[in-house]
Structure 1
Amino acid sequence: MIDISIIVPLYNEEAVFGQLIQRLTSVINNTAFSCEVILINDGSSDNTASLIEAICKEDSRFTGILLSRNYGHQLAVSAGLANVRGKKAAMIIDGDLQDPPELINEFYGLLTKGYDVIYAIRKNRKEGFFKKMAYSAYYRLQKKISNFNIPIDSGDFSMLSRRVVDNINDMPEQSRYLRGMRAWVGFKQIGYEYNRDERQAGETKYSWSKLFELAFNGIFNFSDFPVKVIARLGFFTILFSLVYFAYNIYRRIFYNDVPQGFTATILAIILFSGVQLISLGLIGEYVLRIYNQVRKRPLFIIDKIVQDGKEKEQ
């Protein structure tokens, strides 16, 4: 019986693959519980897929899931969660080894104490100053506006009990934000602080555009604050208009003049147009998520699974 499934999404990680397998093998050789490692190839364009197939055929403790194309980190992890065989829990780590797999014993110890979610909290980051500030600001904004508590400075690195995994698998939303989904599920949760390592090789696969997409999923999927912002913007623009109107009436009555020229007109046009565009954009984010959801497309398509040393038919 497999106790723990270790999920590792991979996208163009050929450079770090050898070190990753070496450390994972050392980990699963030295645990008191049985483990499987699920390696997900997220449409890599290098030799990552071939390397996954090779190790999975060589060592039956490794399972390879090869997706039909690049779906992104969150959906790659979701593919792993949908295929775990661990009866007790699943552990999610990144393939760049910034998340040390050796912490599995500490996480498992907390699991045995009754915790369903053990999420890692980053005490330090290796990114540049601007990126650190952006992350810090986002997490605190998210905590402020979310409808429930999403822990600050916690990523996807975590261990989830089997019942949490099953509940997440039952959530079919397309625009996935897993750290929010696991918090939404509830049950007993605890954070574990750790020092995040530097990427061992290669470059980060999260561009600024992908980071913004992930951030928007975190905000729009778990908060009604953007919708409330629209109402507040409408209220303040109306208030501003009334104040400006009263000011013109005052000038007309007491000074017998009204501000001349195009300045006031242009200001009003720019202000109201900006508010309208912002409002449409915020509503559009929700409409886009509804549109993606109602199409009911599968979250991902699996090209091939290599399990127990052989390929499985799809």
Structure 2
Amino acid sequence: MMNGQPQINMLIPLFNEEEVFEELTRRLTAVMDNSYLSISVIMVDDGSRDNTSLLMKRKSMEDPRFVSVILSRNFGHQLALTAGLAHVNATEAVFILDGDLQDPPELLEEFYIYLKQGYDVIYAVRKKRKEIFLKRWAYKGFYMLMKYISYFEIPLDSGDFSLVSRRVIDELNHMKEESRFLRGMRSWIGYKQIGVPYDRQERYSGGSKYTFKRLLSLAYNGIFNFSEFPIKFISNLGVITVLISLIYLATTLVKKFVYGVVPEGFTGLIFAIVLFGGVQLMSIGILGEYIIRIFFQVKNRPLFIVKEIIRKPEQEQEPEPVLNEQDGEAVL
């Protein structure tokens, strides 16, 4: 380590990962023991309700290479990562991965090769997803949508699993937006980036911590934070509805004055009410998504609250004896 600082931090957010913790730390330790790099691990407990935080504390007191950041409650995956990024001390880069072992820590040195070639962001690209068909379809649809509507390129099928240089981490730490979509923020920063294909493994144990609600919230953050499409969609929809209304009005006038036929019943009226009502509600909903983000941002609350940080100080070296030239005795 350089002045006590590692070259690489491995950053891992944890939420109710008691079942996988022992295997996770075993593999992380093996990576550190077998690597020529100086590495430390930053684990972030995101308000776990099982014994995850206790296991983290125990590991940190056993091995000084493991640092535990305990949050005061569950803030969510993206903010847990943000909390970890705020506590990194690596001189070169941060290796971000999930704690369920779907992201193999053994890929670190393969990613590090690209870092030494001048890349600032080395992100993993999933070759094939292991989820059920409906979830795979939803993920693919979201990334295709983001590719179409985003004002800059966000790589397809890339998650948070990545090796990120120190200067990119510093830029991420300067970005204080409340509704975070880190893979989008990472892409927005720029610099030289490359995707590395990998086979994503099955979860070692347990189930996914990302519920449908949380996945939807993450998708909304990506769409509304990195695209102008929603707000422009309202204007385009308004123009389309006006055109439809004018066409319907013209058709009605032609029937009345040319053919002498007046449309009967409430079909036209119901159509108009439903059309305009739906457009208005959709427009209000889209505006509401922007307003709620502004509302939470202007409160200027901290993004997360750290309850405690657990680390074992490295053993101090014994001072070397100094020879007393006057009497020839060694003194400390």
Q: If the length of structure 1 is used for normalisation, what is the TM-score? A: 0.98
Q: Structure 1, residues 42-96: CA drift from partner, whole Å, max 9, x if none?
A: 0000000000000000000000000000000000000010000101000100000
Q: If the length of structure 2 is used for normalisation, what is the TM-score? A: 0.92
Partner Cα separation in structure 2 for residue 12 and residue 115 of structure 1: 34
Partner Cα separation in structure 1 for residue 313 and residue 63 of structure 2: 7
Check whether the contact 2:62–2:312 (CA below 8 A) recurs between aligned residues: no
Amino acid at match of 1:88: E
What are the equivalent positions in structure 2 for 1:77-88 lying under 5 Å apart?
Answer: 77-88=81-92
**Structure 1: tracts of 5 or more residues without a match:** none
Shift of 1:308: 3.0
2:184 maps to 1:152: no
Aligned residue in 2 for 1:136? 140
Partner Cα separation in structure 2 for residue 65 and residue 309 of structure 1: 15
What are the equivalent positions in structure 2 for 1:60-75 lying under 5 Å apart?
Answer: 60-75=64-79
Q: Return the match for 1:97 from 75, 96, 101.
A: 101
Amino acid at match of 2:126: R
What are the equivalent positions in structure 2 for 1:78-227 lying under 5 Å apart?
Answer: 78-227=82-231
Which of these two proteins has the greater Rg computed from alpha carbons? 2
Partner Cα separation in structure 1 for residue 306 and residue 263 of structure 2: 67
Check whether the contact 2:181–2:218 (CA below 8 A) recurs between aligned residues: yes
Check whether the contact 2:9–2:39 (CA below 8 A) recurs between aligned residues: yes
Considering only aligned residues, what root-mean-square deviation do their CA atoms show, in Å? 0.8
Shift of 1:153: 0.3
Check whether the contact 2:8–2:93 (CA below 8 A) recurs between aligned residues: yes
> How many pairs were matched up?
310
Aligned residue in 1 for 2:9? 5
Q: Which of structure 1's runs of 4+ aligned residues deviate more than 6 A?
A: none
Aligned residue in 1 for 2:250? 246
Identity %: 55
**Structure 2: tracts of 5 or more residues without a match:** 315-332
Shift of 1:193: 0.3
Partner Cα separation in structure 2 for residue 97 and residue 203 of structure 1: 12
Partner Cα separation in structure 1 for residue 77 and residue 196 of structure 2: 22
Aligned residue in 2 for 1:29? 33
